[in-house]
Amino acid sequence: MEEIGHLLDSNAVIDFLGGRLQDSGTRFVSDVVNIGAGASVITKLEVLGYPSTSEDEELLRDFFQEIYLVGITDEITDEITEICIGLRKRLKIKLPDAIIASTAIALNCKLVTSNDEDFKQIPELQVINPRRI
């Protein structure tokens, strides 16, 4: 498995590609993508699961080709699953968010998300909000 330092959440991808971040946030996300960012397959499912124009969908698909995608068959899947189960038992958190958080924890990387409120209850998770950079 490729080593990654940052895992991108769905809203961070949408904000970045949609030009919704300030210059500093855009530079930050661009830099982490250039040095080797990743995303959970859940992020890809969420982002591509919304209706979009064919031009937007092509941009999104191209973006996911540039980053490492952590799939459900990677060797770290069992660890992600166990962390996710623990999070769901102790916290009120939606399953997709729990999977994404668990993936970042298992990979020991920072989660880049524009919605840090959903993840602030997880002390073992390092979160960076590109809207606050």
The average pLDDT across 99-121 equals 94
Give the tokens for residue 24.
């500093």
To which H or E segment does residue 40 belong? Answer: strand 38-40
Q: Is the pLDDT confidence value at 37 over 90?
A: yes
Give the per-residue pLDDT at 29.
Answer: 97
Give the per-residue pLDDT at 73.
Answer: 72
Mean pLDDT over each residue of the chain, to the nearest integer: 92
Q: What percent of the chain has pLDDT over 90?
A: 79
Give the per-residue pLDDT at 42.
Answer: 93
Query: At 50, is the pLDDT very low, low, confident or very high (cuts 50, 70, 90)?
Result: confident
- The alpha carbon of 55 is separated from its chain's Cα centroid by a whole number of angstroms, namely 22
- Regarding pTM above 0.85, the answer is yes
DSSP state letters, 45-89:
HHHHTS---HHHHHHHHHHHHHSEEE-TTSTTHHHHHHHHHHHHH
Give the per-residue pLDDT at 1.
Answer: 58
Neighbouring C-beta atoms of residue 53, cutoff 10 Å: 8
What's the rounded Cα separation, in Å, for the pair 13 and 112?
A: 9
Structural domains present in the chain = 6-132 (3.40.50.1010)
Rg (CA), the chain: 14
Give the per-residue pLDDT at 71.
Answer: 84
Give the per-residue pLDDT at 74.
Answer: 67
Query: CA torsion, points 35, 68, 64, 32, in degrees to nearest 10?
Result: -20
Query: At 108, is the pLDDT very low, low, confident or very high (cuts 50, 70, 90)?
Result: very high
